[in-house]
C-alpha cells in the first residue's frame, strides 16, 4: 500500500513542524529538567487548532480526519514526547469520548472549550488494582434517589492531563450495578468537573520520562454530580472506552513514528559530523548499519500507522490494524532510541541531548493505552485463535 498525503495535509505538516521547532524544541530540555507543564504553549497549540482537529466545526473543531491528527502528533513527537502525549490524550481521551458518546447537550456544554484548547479533559480508567484488567474496576457511582445525584467513591491512577491549570473535567469509569449483585460488573462512564467537592487530585508522579506531561492519581470521596453526567448508555462505559482506545492506539503509533524519525535524523547528522580515528563515524559499518536499521523502522512503522488511520477514516474495520500499528511502532521506537543513544556514545547518556530524552520517554509507549501484551492478544484474536477469555 502506498501512503500519499494530500497537498493540504503536507502544508499542515509544515505548519506544525515550524511550530514544533520554534515554540517547543528550544524549551523542551528545560521543561524536562524542571518537570514543567508549559501552560502557555499548550494554549498556543489550542489556538493553532490542534486539539479540535478531528471534531466538527460546530464545536469549534477543525473537521479533519484521524490521519491529519496523526500528522500533527508525529511532528510534535519528533521534538518532544511530553507535548505530543498532551495533545494525543487531550483529543483521544479528553474530548473524543464526549463527542462519540455524549448527548448533544453534553457536547455543547463541554466540547467547545476542549476543542479550542481553552480546557483539557482526562479519562480515568486505570486504578491501583485494575490496569489491563480494567473490568476489575472498584470505583462506584451510586444514585441517590433523594437528590437525583450520583455519588462517586474510588481511586484512579496514572491519569494524563488530570491536574493541569487547564483541566476542566475527568471522565471516569465506575461501577453502577447494585453492590453484591451477580454477573459481570455494570461499568458506566461519569463526567466529573474539576473542583467538585470530594474530588482530589494527587501531586504529579515522579516518572522516568514524559516529565513535562501531567500525570496524577485521583480520588473520589462522596463526590456528587448530577445524574445527567453519565456519558453514553449506562453500563456501556467500559465497552465504549475500548472503542476509544482503538483510535488512541493509532495516535500513539503516530507518536512513536515521530520518535523513530527523530532518532534517524539525529543519528545520521551526528554520524556525518562526529570523527573517530580520522574519519566520520558514519563511514564505519557499525554506525552505518544502525542508521540503516533506523530508516527501516521509520518506514515500516509509518506504513502500518497510516494504513490503520486510512482504514478508520474510510469507515473500514481497523481494530486489528490499530493493534498491529501500536505494537510494532512502539516497540520499534524503544529499539530506535537505544540505537540512537549508542550512536551518540557518551553524549547520548547526557540528559540534555534529544536522544537521551527520547530514550527515557519511549518506554511508556509500550505500556500506555494498551500494553504490548494486550496488542498481541487483540491481534491473536483477530487471527481466530481460540484464546481463553
Residues tagged active-site: 369
Q: Give the separation between CA 210 and CA 287, rounded to whole angstroms.
A: 28
> Are 124 and 170 within 8 A, CB to CB?
yes
Alpha helices in the chain (DSSP H): 7-19, 25-34, 39-47, 66-79, 81-89, 96-101, 104-116, 237-273, 285-313, 319-344, 354-362, 372-382
Report d(CA 351, CA 340) in Å as an integer: 14
Pairing of strands 140-144, 275-276: unpaired
Residue 122: name the closest of 146, 100, 104, 98 by CA.
98
Residues 6+ apart with CB under 8 A from 382: 319, 320, 323
> CB pairs under 8 A, 24+ apart, for 351-358?
351/29, 351/32, 351/33, 352/29, 352/33, 354/28, 354/29, 354/79, 354/262, 354/266, 355/262, 355/263, 355/266, 355/267, 357/28, 357/29, 357/32, 357/80, 357/81, 357/209, 358/81, 358/259, 358/262, 358/263
The vertex-205 CA angle with 95 and 167, nearest 5°, equals: 30
Amino acid at each position: 500500500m502506498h501512503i500519499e498525503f494530500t497537498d493540504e495535509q503536507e502544508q499542515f505538516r509544515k505548519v506544525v513542524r515550524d511550530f514544533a521547532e520554534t515554540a517547543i524544541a528550544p524549551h523542551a530540555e528545560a521543561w524536562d529538567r524542571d518537570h514543567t507543564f508549559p501552560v502557555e504553549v499548550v494554549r498556543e497549540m489550542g489556538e493553532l487548532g490542534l486539539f479540535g482537529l478531528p471534531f466538527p466545526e460546530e464545536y469549534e473543531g477543525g473537521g479533519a480526519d484521524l490521519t491529519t491528527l496523526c500528522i500533527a502528533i508525529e511532528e510534535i513527537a519528533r521534538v518532544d514526547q511530553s507535548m505530543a502525549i498532551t495533545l494525543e490524550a487531550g483529543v483521544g481521551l479528553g474530548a473524543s469520548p464526549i463527542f462519540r458518546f455524549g448527548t448533544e447537550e453534553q457536547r455543547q456544554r463541554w466540547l467547545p472549550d476542549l476543542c479550542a484548547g481553552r480546557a483539557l479533559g482526562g479519562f480515568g480508567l486505570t486504578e491501583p488494582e485494575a490496569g489491563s484488567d480494567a473490568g476489575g474496576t472498584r470505583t462506584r457511582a451510586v444514585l441517590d434517589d433523594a437528590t437525583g445525584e450520583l455519588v462517586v467513591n474510588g481511586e484512579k491512577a496514572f491519569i494524563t492531563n488530570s491536574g493541569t491549570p487547564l483541566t476542566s473535567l475527568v471522565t471516569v469509569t465506575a461501577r453502577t450495578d447494585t453492590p453484591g449483585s451477580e454477573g459481570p460488573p455494570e461499568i458506566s462512564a461519569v463526567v466529573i468537573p474539576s473542583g467538585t467537592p470530594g474530588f482530589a487530585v494527587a501531586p504529579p508522579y515522579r516518572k522516568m520520562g514524559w516529565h513535562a506531561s501531567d500525570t496524577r492519581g485521583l480520588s473520589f470521596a462522596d463526590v456528587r454530580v448530577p445524574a445527567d453526567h453519565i456519558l453514553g448508555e449506562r453500563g456501556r462505559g467500559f465497552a465504549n472506552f475500548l472503542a476509544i482506545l482503538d483510535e488512541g492506539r493509532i495516535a500513539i503509533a503516530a507518536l512513536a513514528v515521530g520518535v523513530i524519525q527523530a532518532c534517524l535524523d539525529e543519528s545520521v547528522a551526528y554520524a556525518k559530523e562526529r570523527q573517530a580515528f580520522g574519519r566520520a563515524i558514519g563511514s564505519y559499518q557499525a554506525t552505518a548499519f544502525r542508521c540503516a536499521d533506523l530508516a527501516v523502522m521509520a518506514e515500516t512503522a509509518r506504513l502500518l500507522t497510516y494504513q490503520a488511520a486510512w482504514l478508520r477514516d474510510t469507515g473500514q474495520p481497523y481494530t486489528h490494524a490499530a493493534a498491529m500499528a501500536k505494537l510494532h511502532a512502539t516497540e520499534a521506537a524503544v529499539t530506535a532510541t537505544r540505537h540512537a543513544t549508542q550512536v551518540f556514545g557518551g553524549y547520548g547518556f547526557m540528559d540534555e541531548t534529544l536522544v537521551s530524552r527520547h530514550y527515557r520517554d519511549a518506554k511508556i509507549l509500550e505500556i500506555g493505552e494498551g500494553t504490548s501484551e494486550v496488542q498481541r492478544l487483540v491481534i491473536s484474536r483477530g487471527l481466530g485463535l481460540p484464546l481463553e477469555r
